[in-house]
């Protein structure tokens, strides 16, 4: 299995060990505002560019793909260039497709605790429930224009050995995430920028199928 999704899974598994958020009234107000702005989301479709800078290499690894999210429990992360890789979580089932060998893995979320927790976290982050997430991370404001949240794992949590900090940058209208930057303890940095984002448009059933895909238009 290609481990493209591993760093993101580590990021989204923050509720395995509960972390306390800052008690700043300003932070609470910001998280309430973000949650309010994203409350009416039913579907999201976006293109992304994922750049990973590794301490042991001089040139970054750049991947391009698409994100699909649909309330209440559907999520798809698709790498379309320079390789093909898809993971789809929907209706209690996770399907993973690796293009190089054209192999598909499928399993029930209920029988895989890691993917079950990951799915729950993905729904929170991309669905906009930031007030709830504030009970699970140390959260501070790293910027105001644009708005950037800094999320630091508690030093006693398992992910603190891998993740140093995650920065979440929002669009000016706070309707959605514009950029995620994951700084690892190793010195590696993963930067994911979302573009061409569409809200509340119907997503066809074909979009949830595993196989070779192209970015949406």
The secondary structure of residue 20, as a DSSP letter, is P
Domain ranges of the chain: 6-201
Res 19 pLDDT > 60 = no
Give the residue-averaged pLDDT of 87-114: 86
Mean of the per-residue pLDDT values of the chain:
81
Cis peptide before 130 (omega within 30 of 0): no
> How many C-beta atoms surround the C-beta of residue 45 within 10 A?
21
Res 215 pLDDT > 70 = no
111-120, 129-138, 188-197, 208-217: which has the minimum mean pLDDT? Answer: 208-217
Res 169 pLDDT > 90 = yes
Give the residue-averaged pLDDT of 125-135: 72
Give the residue-averaged pLDDT of 10-16: 44
User: What is the pLDDT at residue 37?
Assistant: 86
User: What is the pLDDT at residue 88?
Assistant: 93
The secondary structure of residue 213, as a DSSP letter, is -
**CB of 96 within 8 A of CB of 114?**
no
Res 125 pLDDT > 50 = yes
At 14, the pLDDT band (50, 70, 90 cuts) reads very low
At 11, the pLDDT band (50, 70, 90 cuts) reads low
Q: Which fold has domain 6-201?
A: outer membrane lipoprotein receptor (LolB), chain A (2.50.20)
E strands of the chain, at which residues?
A: 43-53, 61-70, 74-81, 85-90, 93-98, 103-108, 138-144, 147-152, 163-170, 177-184, 189-199
Of 8, 183, 187, the C-alpha closest to 89 is 8
User: What is the pLDDT at residue 157?
Assistant: 67
């Amino acid at each position: 299995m290609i481990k493209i999704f591993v760093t993101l899974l580590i990021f989204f598994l923050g509720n395995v060990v509960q972390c306390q958020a800052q008690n700043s009234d300003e932070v609470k107000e910001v998280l309430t505002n973000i949650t309010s702005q994203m409350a009416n989301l039913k579907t999201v479709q976006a293109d992304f560019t994922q750049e990973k800078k590794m301490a042991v290499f001089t040139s970054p690894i750049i991947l391009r793909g698409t994100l699909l999210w649909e309330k209440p429990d559907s999520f798809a992360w698709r790498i379309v260039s320079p390789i093909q890789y898809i993971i789809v979580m929907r209706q209690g089932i996770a399907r993973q497709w690796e293009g190089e060998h054209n192999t598909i893995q499928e399993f029930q979320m209920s029988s895989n605790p890691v993917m079950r927790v990951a799915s729950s976290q993905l729904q929170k982050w991309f669905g906009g429930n930031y007030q709830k997430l504030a009970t699970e991370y140390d959260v501070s404001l790293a910027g105001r224009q644009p708005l950037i949240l800094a999320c630091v794992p508690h030093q006693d949590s398992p992910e603190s050995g891998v993740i140093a900090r995650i920065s979440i940058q929002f669009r000016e209208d706070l309707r959605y995430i514009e950029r995620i930057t994951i700084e690892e303890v190793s010195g590696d940095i993963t930067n994911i920028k979302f573009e061409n984002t569409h809200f509340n448009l119907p997503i066809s059933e074909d979009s949830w199928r595993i196989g070779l895909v192209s970015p949406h238009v």
